[in-house]
Structure 1
């Protein structure tokens, strides 16, 4: 695992623009090596801003979108049409604007497609084993004020799940209560992990995660990419980081 890098931006808008540029460049570089990059998306307000920036800049890039594969690090276990779904947000802001192959967009099965979050996690894992690349080129993750990543929450039993790609999460401390999340083992196979954090309500979590310690208290502490780990944050989120 790699030591984390910190990149602080003036504000959320500047952060979104930089991440969009980094993502497009990373995809271009991977395709230049003859690879088909697998990208893991996240949800939240800063992710939405990033998605819109990627869509805006996409026509000026050399990315072959038919050779990009899309996944999610976690998902809310709600019906497919629910605006609470990370996939719903990403499709509206980004994916529907790009010439992606529908076969290359792998959503976590929704609550109106399978009966339980356990079935959803099992099906998502099976898809990843079947058509996944074994790692993400880039996995983007948000961080909650409590330090959670994906849907791995402090003190939750899902933090200790091993030998699984995805796990059902119940009794989430924030709604909706039922979710599906990649496990630490799956997350930490990503080549690059990018933490995307904006806002003053995240500053304590960022500071605690950077300091290290028990991942059961601050799950973000347990995440590292195999080639790079980058905290891409704004000034508000960085206010407690010594610089």
Structure 2
């Protein structure tokens, strides 16, 4: 395992989303060909959804056998199922409702109207992960995990200096007092995220530059959670020029 960390810089947000979408399609085809199936963990946020929209718009979209792809989420807002705030709803509108993925291959977090107790919702998602676990693991083998990054450096719903980012045993946590609304959220934990073969972080804008620079400079992951995101094979930061202003030149990859 190479456990590489790379930063790929793109001229603007449009080029960034198009590049990530193209790489996702190519890599997913390779994974399905090699393994027979793929597990993908999605993220919400502006850039996460923009990437899914770009995948949907690609002429290569239907070259993937979507029946062999399972979709999961890194985190979710604990709101009703039909809320526009749900990452699931946004992902369905951007991509999932437009491709031939079987309903049983889509694994959303429980919603607050279906499972009002957030602790029970966390337990149910942990059980869903375990039901599809890789041999000897408590969770599936995620082939690609997408992550966004907040200006404070948070990933999924793991926030700086909060108990969630320190959790080492559970696969799913319930966040009751998120510093970013809505306050109640569900999230995979850092060990689960880091069990992924590949972590792809997609960042755009000057407000993300400080968090990215701190992460690459070796900041504590409890203070800057993105610093603790490390895939088993590869960790790639896909960024635009605005987000890359504090990245050391030696970490910027000319190609990938």
TM-score by length of 2: 0.92
Quote the Cα distance in structure 1 between the aligned partners of 2:45 and 2:182.
14
Q: In the TM superposition, what is the alpha-carbon distance from 1:132 to its structure 2 partner?
A: 4.0
Considering only aligned residues, what root-mean-square deviation do their CA atoms show, in Å? 1.2
| Conservation of the 8 A alpha-carbon contact between 2:153 and 2:211 | yes
User: In structure 2, what is the equivalent of residue 27 of structure 1?
Assistant: 28
Q: Does 1:139 align with 2:114?
A: no
* Counterparts of residues 3-82 of structure 1 (less than 5 Å): 3-57=4-58, 59=60, 61-82=62-83
Assess if the C-alpha contact under 8 Å between 2:4 and 2:233 holds in 1.
no
- Name 1:241's counterpart in structure 2: 247
Residue by residue over 1:18-76, the C-alpha shift from the partner in whole angstroms, topping out at 9 and shown as x without a partner, is 11011111110011114210000001111121111101115555210111100000000
The match for 1:182 among 188, 198, 205 is 188
Q: Give aligned pairs, total.
A: 243
1:199 and 2:200 are equivalent in the alignment: no
Tell whether 2:96 aligns with 1:95.
yes
Large movers: runs of 4+ above 4 Å: 58-61
Look up the match of 1:222.
228
Where 2:242 maps in the other structure, the secondary structure is: coil
Q: 1:195-232, CA deviations, whole angstroms, 9 ceiling, x for partnerless residues?
A: 11011111111111111121111001111000100000
TM-score, length of structure 1 as denominator length: 0.97
Over 3 Å counting, the alpha-carbon distance change for 1:131 and 1:58 in structure 2 is farther
Deviations 1:170-202 (A, max 9, x none): 110010000001001100100000011011111
Match of 1:168 in 2: 174
Range moving further from structure 2, 124-133 or 198-207: 124-133
Counterpart of 1:28 in 2: which secondary structure?
Answer: helix
Equivalent position of 2:84 in the other structure = 83
Segment of structure 1 superposing worse, 112-121 or 175-184: 112-121
Q: Are positions 1:111 and 2:112 aligned together?
A: yes
Please say if residues 24 and 61 of structure 1, whose CA atoms lie closer than 8 Å, have aligned partners that are also in contact. Answer: no
1:143 is paired with a residue whose SS is coil
Distance 2:90 2:220 in 1: 32
Q: Which ranges in structure 1 are unaligned for 5 or more consecutive residues? A: none
Residues in 2 aligned to 1:224 and 1:35: alpha-carbon distance in whole angstroms:
25
User: 2:12 & 2:123 partners in 1: Cα distance?
Assistant: 39
Aligned to 1:208: 214
Shifted more, 183-192 versus 113-122: the winner is 113-122
- Contact 1:143-1:196 within 8 A present in 2 as well: yes
CA contact (8 A) 1:72 1:108 kept: yes
Q: How far apart in 1 are the matches of 2:245 and 2:121?
A: 38
Partner of 2:161: 155
Tell me how far 1:164 sits from its aligned partner.
Answer: 1.2
Question: Which stretch has the larger CA shift, 25-34 or 143-152?
Answer: 25-34
Aligned residues of 2:25 and 2:61 also touching (Cα < 8 A): no
Q: 1:236 aligns to what SS in structure 2?
A: helix
Residues 11 and 168 (structure 1), Cα distance of their counterparts in 2 relative to 1, 3 Å cut: same
- The answer as to whether partners of 1:24 and 1:58 remain within 8 angstroms in 2 is no
